[in-house]
Amino acid sequence: MPNINKNADYVTFINTFRCRPENQDEVVRINAEIIDQVAMGRPGFISASVHRSSHGTRVFNDQEWETADDLTRMQESTEFRGTAGRFAGKIEFEPHHCEVVHIGER
């Protein structure tokens, strides 16, 4: 389960995938496959979650890694490249390296 912490000793990446509504389900599936079949087995992986917009034009991927280099190494793997290649023609990609600055909890 993702655990979001302010001032954590890991890095957070939030990726936005812009897509057409007819491609949203496939973009979600590809993201989930990357998490479950590629990222989870890599050194430095902590957690990830995938979110879809209700209007069908966005998918968001939130990832926590021990270091940015750990994520880079995963993205350079042949497993990642093979799976991520299925995004071709389906998305516009906007990655963000983020810092958690506020958390509200119930």
Tokens of 106: 């119930």
Instruction: Judge whether 103 lies within some domain.
Output: no
105 within domain boundaries: no
Which domain CATH number covers 38? Answer: 3.30.70.100
Residue 63 lies in a domain: yes
Confidence of residue 1 (pLDDT cuts 50, 70, 90): low
Q: How many domains does the chain have?
A: 1
Buried b (16+ CB within 10 A) or exposed e, 32-48: eebbeebbeebebbbbb
Measure CA of the first residue to CA of the last residue in the chain; give whole Å.
Answer: 17
Domain assignment present for 104: no
Q: 11-58: per-residue pLDDT in tens?
A: 999 999 999 999 999 999 999 999 999 999 999 999 999 999 999 999
Domain that holds residue 82: 11-98
pLDDT bin (cut points 50, 70, 90) of residue 8 is confident
Q: Is 5 within a domain?
A: no
pTM: 0.89
